[in-house]
Structure 1
Amino acid sequence: MRRFFLTIFFLASFVALGAGAWGLWWLHQPLKMNAASVDLPVEPGTTPRGVAQLVADAGVDVPPPLLYWWFRLSGQDRQIRAGSYEIERGVTPKTLLSILVRGEEATRSLVLVEGWNFRQVRAALAKADQLKPETVGESDEALMAKLGRPGVAPEGRFFPDTYTYSKGSTDVALLQRAMRAMDRHLDAAWSARAPDLPLKTADEALILASIVEKETGKPADRPEIAAVFINRLRIGMPLQTDPTVIYGMGPSFDGNLRKKDLQTDTPWNTYLRGGLPPTPIAMPGKAALLAAVQPAQSKSLYFVSRGDGSSHFSSSLDEHNRAVNRYQRGIKQ
């Protein structure tokens, strides 16, 4: 009888050792999948057993009880996080659990570019990969109401940056992040503004910054360009900036700005109307925001492109006309 129990003991030990060795081997083996990658959405409150079943249902060839056994045995089963995951071919049970515990959700990114107008932003959102389009077909007014800013024009209200998002996120959520980011940067710039600026509000600084953004070819010129417009505002001189006219033309602008366009009145035609336009004309970046509130100490009232991205600045009309002849018309004097 004693020999019988010893035999049973050794057999059980052998089986246990074998199972343990197989388990260690299995943890490092790639799981079979029916596609190169599968989506795995894990809702809040899903149990570890439920997660194991979701993995199998998503297209990973693994017995849910076996996967659940691994979750429990690891001691990390209660640390699995809800999220939207993308499981790629080659994942092992060990790396799968690590992904779920770390919350390494599948992410995409969208770049909002400095100087873009809101039409361009909406076009980029519509094309963004795996971003749920909750604003398609809505007017700008309805969209801003959904974002909690009813009656506010959307132009310039979103900070240009690279935004990462999880698969299944919405365009509304991304816009909310970009709007909050612009609020922070604008508040910081306005708090650091130079004294005695002819700007009454942070919104006016935002409008000016958007013009500076569109007029700047060389980044180092931003403070000087801002100074030109600040100086014009101080003396009541029209801003006379082409980008505002182009913005007022909307989609009808064909790439060529003509004399008749400068003579056609819109709320954004700064040749015909004094002061700042009613809204920003684009998304300014951080450098443009700071330039608008911390312009260079300069008496310049004019600038013209040198043709290399930089600008020539002048404090008198005669000097400006000479610069135009030199850099725009090729007339040597």
Structure 2
Amino acid sequence: MFLSTLFLISYWASYVPYKPSIFSFEANYFEMLFVLSACVLIMPFCLKDTQKALDLIWYLGLGAFLWAAVTIFTTVLLAPSPYYGKIIDLRALARGLIQFGNTPGIANLLTFFPIIFYASLIYPTRERSKGYWVGIALVMITTLVAAVLIEQRSFFVINFFVLPILVGIFLFAMNQRKLGSWVLSLLAIYPLLILVNDYASFLDREIKTDIFLDARFEMVVFWLYQLLANPFGSPLVGPPPLDMYPHFHNFFADIHRISGFWPLLSAILLVLYIFIRLIYLSYWNRQLGFYLLAIAVPIFLIMISSVVPEGERQPFLALLLIGALCERYLATSVRTSPTTLPDG
């Protein structure tokens, strides 16, 4: 709680607009960020029942899925293809206006539910009835169709590369080798997807296999050079021609860009603390710790490859929720053995 408050206050107090003629904060941005952050940090401690606290993660994933799906399919109905970069803003549409929003931001929300489902293979938080699997299948198919429509490459990287490796490793560490093998076998989908796209071109935007050739990697490297050369300076987005963009598309780089070094340092400490505590929880309860880590790691990867602090709060709030759930269980655990946590 202290580190979260320190980050939020320093982030707000040091904020200086960067190219405000191109992009600026929405009204009451900081007020909403403070309120939402307080909610996700406090809610896990208000629920006495373990299952209800863990259900907060599913509610987050389901809410993110519904908002993303409705946004994407509304865009398909009202806007011409291709849809990448032309996602209709539902908030403006409610006022009778046609305005376009951030495609990666919606794609990030679309990824939340699959992330939580993969993680649930480690720690099933609800009964796996026939209805459960039917519902999961419908949502997963819908997210896949929606991701193809908006041609968001990060969705495929997370779902068919990062998550199978991460969850597969965790399952093997828990001696669930059969399930772990099935999950790891999903890795075959990723190269197959690239191969099919080379011939069928169902995605106009090529799925890259070399991250070092990606523009966002170049931007982060450009930022790191500036950070090392002058940590207390104001970094510029680049290198050219990428300097036409108002963002680095990296949570830490963009915090440094708009608020300076001290908010950057507090953000690093906050994220580092959350992961240290998750690893510590994994020692006391491997299944629960791995479950939360399997959600936190891809959320973190989204944050360092896509999240723009001015426009995308959800991944940051999701990571705060994971950290709060971790603290709740550590605070209520009976440390009689490194495998037991209470149910209440």
| Shorter-chain TM band | under 0.3
Higher relative contact order (CA 8 A, sep 6+): 2
Bigger Rg over Cα:
1
- Which structure has the highest helix share of the two? 2
- Which structure has the highest strand share of the two? 1
